[in-house]
Amino acid sequence: MIRRDLHQQNRLAWDAATPAHSSHKRDEAGFLRAGGTTLFDDEVHLLLGTGPEGHVLEDIRQSGARPLAGLRLLHAPCNAGQDTLSLAQLGAEVTGVDISPTAIAAAQTLAEAAGIAASFAVADLYDWLPAQEPGFDLVFMSYGALIWMSDLDALFAAVARVLKPGGRFVGLEFHPLAQMYDEQGRLAYPYGGGAHVVGATGVGDYVADSGAALAPSGFVEGRVGFTNPHATHEFSWGVADILGAQLRAGLALEVVREYTYANGCKIWPDLVEQPGRRYAPAGGPVPPLMLGWSSRRPE
pTM for this structure? 0.95
Q: Which residues contact 281 (CB under 8 A, 6 or more apart)?
A: 268, 270, 271, 272, 287
Bridge-partner residues for 57, per DSSP?
none
DSSP assignment letter at 188 = -
**Residue 157, helix vs strand vs coil:** helix
Question: CATH code at 235?
Answer: 3.40.50.150
Of 257, 242, 234, 287, nearest in space to 47 by CA: 257
Question: Is the pLDDT assigned to residue 96 strictly greater than 80?
Answer: yes
Of 107, 100, 140, 143, nearest in space to 123 by CA: 100
Provide the domain limits for residue 215: 4-296
Lowest mean pLDDT among 179-183, 194-198, 225-229, 230-234: 179-183
Where are the alpha helices (H) located in the chain, listed in sequence order? 4-22, 28-33, 41-48, 56-63, 82-88, 101-114, 125-128, 152-162, 206-210, 239-248
**Residue 169, helix vs strand vs coil:** strand
> Do the bridges between strand 252-259 and strand 119-122 make them parallel or antiparallel, or are there none, so unpaired?
unpaired
Each residue of 4-51: pLDDT tens digit?
A: 999 999 999 999 999 999 999 999 999 999 999 999 999 999 999 999
Task: Strand 72-75: give its sheet, edge to edge.
Answer: 119-122, 93-98, 72-75, 136-142, 163-174, 290-296, 252-259
Q: What is the mean pLDDT of residues 265-276?
A: 89
CA–CA gap between residue 3 and residue 5 (Å, rounded): 5
State the pLDDT at residue 85: 98
CA–CA gap between residue 39 and residue 86 (Å, rounded): 7
State the pLDDT at residue 285: 84
Bridge-partner residues for 168, per DSSP?
138, 296
CA–CA gap between residue 55 and residue 279 (Å, rounded): 17
Q: What is the number of structural domains in the chain?
A: 1
State the pLDDT at residue 78: 97
- CA distance from start to end of the chain: 29
Q: What is the mean pLDDT of residues 272-287?
A: 89
